[in-house]
Amino acid sequence: MTQMGDTQIQVGFTASSAAIAQQAQVMNEDILATSALNSDSHDASRVGALKNLAQKYLELTGEDLVVWKLMKAEIDPQRRAYYLLGLAGLVEANGILESDPRKAVSLLSESATHFEMAGVDPMNLRAIAKAKRDNASMVARCWFCGREAQGLGTHFELLPAVVSNYTKEKYGSEVPQSLDGAHVVACESCSSSIRMVADAFARMYYEKALNEMHDIASRLDARITSLQHEVNSLKGRVALR
C-alpha cells in the first residue's frame, strides 16, 4: 500500500491506499507495543512507544477506518488512545515505584483517569492502577527502626503480631502509623532482615533434624543387619540338628 502512494482502490468499497498503509502500520505497532504487557509490566522502553502510538490513534480520529471496516471490527481511535496512555502511565509507574513512589502516585492517578476516559478496560486496569496508587500513597513509621517509609507492599509491609490493648491505646493514634490492627509496620530493610534471620534459623533446624534422621536411619540399618545375622546364625544351627 505504501508503494502505491495515495491511490484510490477498490476493496469492496473505494478507499485510499495511503490510508490503508497508515492504519495497517498503526495496527502493527499496537500489536508490538501491547503484546505481553500486564498490570505488573515495567518495561520502560515501551512507554515512549505507547505514547507515540496513542498520538497516531488520535490522528485517525474522524478518518475512514478502512482496515477495521475490512476486519468488521469497531474501534474508537480516541478511546484507544486514552487506553494506551493509561497503559503507558501504569508501565512507567511500575518502573519507578522502587525509587520514587511520589512520582509513581502521580502517574498512577493519571493512568486511572485515562482508563476511565477510554471506557473500555478488559483487564480491569483502572481498578488495578487505583489500588496501586492508594498503596503507593500510604506513609507509615517502622515499628522496629522508627524510620518513615512510603509505599505499602514496596517500601514497607504489615507483619502479623500480638498487639495488646495497652499498645494500641498508647501507640495506635501515631501519625504516621506504626500499628494496624493485629499488625505492626516493618520497613523493607527491617522486614527483609527479619525474614533472613528466620530463614537462617529454619535452615539450621532443618539441617539438624535431617542429620538426626540420618543418624536414626543408620542405627536402624545397623540393627536390621545385626538381626539378619542372628536369624541366619539360628537357621544354621537348626540345619545342623
> Helix, strand or coil for residue 124?
coil
- Going by C-alpha positions, the residue among 159, 147, 146 that lies closest to residue 194 is 159
Q: How many CB atoms within 10 Å of residue 24? A: 15
Give yes or no for a cis peptide into 176 (omega within 30° of 0). Answer: yes
At 241 the pLDDT is: 65
Chain centre distance of CA 179: 26
At 167 the pLDDT is: 95
**What are the two backbone dihedrals, phi and then psi, of residue 23, each rounded to the nearest 5 degrees?**
-70, -35
pTM of the model: 0.80
At 30 the pLDDT is: 93
At 238 the pLDDT is: 74
Residues of the chain with pLDDT under 50: none
Domain spans of the chain?
A: 2-137, 140-240
Residue with cell 498520538: 55
CA-based angle 52:61:66, to the nearest 5?
100
SS3 content of the chain, % helix, strand, coil (to 5): 65, 10, 25
At 84 the pLDDT is: 97
Task: Please give the Cα distance from 222 to 216 (Å, whole number).
Answer: 10
pLDDT in tens, 153-194: 999 999 999 999 999 999 999 999 999 889 999 999 999 999
Cross-strand partners of 150: 139
